[in-house]
Amino acid sequence: MRAPALLLALLAAPLVTPAAQAQETKEIGHVNTAITNLGLTRSHRVVVERFDDPEVAGISCYISQARTGGVSGMVGLAEDPARFALSCVTTGAVRVAEGARRGERGENVYESNTSLFFKETRVHRFLDEERGVVVYMAWSTKLVDGSPYNAVAVVPIR
C-alpha cells in the first residue's frame, strides 16, 4: 500500500468503526422523539438494538439508547445523552463458556460510541455463580468521569 493510501486508510478507520459494530448488533427499530431542522435532517430518536453475548450462548440482550439528530447527529459529531435501558432474555439453553471472565470486574460484551471522542455506552457481564445467574450492567464512559447512569438485567443460567 502506498504512503498516501495508507494515511487515508488510517484517517478513515474511526469512520468505519460503527459499521464493524453493526455486524455484532442488529437495530430492531427506533422512534423519533423530536423533529430537527423542519424534518430536513435525522430527528432525535430512541434506537433499540439486539446483541448476543459471545461467551454465553442462549442469551440475547436488547438495549435502547437516545440518539441525537440534526446536522451534527447525521455527520457523527453530536454527543448522545447517557440514557439507556437494558433487558436480556434467554433464547435457548444457556451455556457459559469456560473462558468467560469471572470476578468482580466482569467482562465487556458490548460497546457503542455516543460521541466522536471518549464517550461510549458499554455493557459488562458478571457471573453470580452462587445464585446461578448472569448479570449485565450498562453504563456510560466519559473522558474524566464515568456517568452515574446505569441499567441492570439478570438472566438465570439454569
Please write the tens of the pLDDT for every residue from 34-47.
776 666 656 778 88
Burial of 27 (0-12, 13-18, 19+ CB in 10 A): exposed
HSE-CB for 59 with a 13 A CA cutoff = 24
Mean pLDDT of 54-74: 81
- Tell me how far apart the alpha carbons of residues 56 and 60 are, in angstroms, rounded to a whole number: 9
**Percentage with pLDDT > 90 across the chain:** 35
Q: Flag whether pLDDT at 70 surpasses 50.
A: yes
C-alpha cell at 41: 435532517
Rounded-to-integer distance, Cα 65 and Cα 20, Å: 18
User: Which has more confidence, 75 or 158?
Assistant: 158
Query: pLDDT digits over 84-96, tens only?
Result: 899 999 999 999 9
* Nearest alpha carbon to residue 107 among 124, 127, 86, 123: 124
* Rounded CA separation 132/48 (Å): 28
